[in-house]
Amino acid sequence: MTHIFEHLATRVAAAAGRPPAFALALGIIVTWAVTGPVFGWSDTWQLVINTGTTIVTFLMVFLIQNAQNRDASAIQAKLDELIRAAHSARNEFIGIEHLTEGELRRILEALEAATGDERHKAAALARLINRR
């Protein structure tokens, strides 16, 4: 079941981000709007689009979230491998995505403090830009 869901999620997420999907959605909305006078702008006519968009949105949330979770995990694994492979990198950073938000904030503050004051940061940034 998991394999089927992941395969479906990948395909739907990829298709949803393409121009044909947008064109299809736009076509549905235009068709719905044009048929308004035919159905006398009835409550049922409005309910059709409201129900349809709600169902699609509800299902897409799960499919797209699954695809994003897998993408984020793959990127994290790649970053962990880069940290592991770089001899001067600190291996303690591998797996920090599992820490709490407060723990991550403290690490970020410590890293920012270790880089020096604003003058040093600005000078380092200027050197980096000038290398181009």
Amino acid identity of residue 69, one-letter, is N
SS3 state at 92: helix
Q: Are residues 35 and 63 in the same domain?
A: yes
Which residues touch 70 (CB under 8 Å, ≥6 apart)? Answer: 6, 10
User: Does residue 105 share a domain with residue 87?
Assistant: no
In a shared domain, residues 28 and 47? yes
Q: Given its phi and psi angles, is residue 45 left (phi above 0), alpha (psi -120 to 50 degrees) or beta?
A: alpha
Higher pLDDT, 122 or 132: 122
Note the pLDDT of residue 132: 63
Looking at the structure, tell me whether residues 29 and 83 fall in a common domain.
Answer: yes
| Residues 6+ away with beta carbon under 8 Å from 83 | 89, 90, 91, 93, 94
Q: Check whether residue 84 and residue 105 sit in a common domain.
A: no
Range of the domain at 128: 99-132
Instruction: Examine the domain organization and report whether 6 and 44 are in the same domain.
Output: yes
Full-model pTM: 0.62
Asked if 78 and 125 sit in the same domain, the reply is no
pLDDT score for 13: 85
Quote the percentage of the chain above a pLDDT of 90.
54
**Domain total of the chain:** 2
- Checking if the pLDDT of 9 tops 80, the result is yes
pLDDT at 39 (0 to 100): 95
CA distance 75 to 8: 21
62 plus 121 within the same structural domain: no
CB-based contact 64:16 (threshold 8 Å)? yes
**pLDDT per residue over 50-98, tens digit each?**
999 999 999 999 988 988 898 999 999 999 999 999 988 888 889 988 9
86 and 116 both lie in a single domain: no
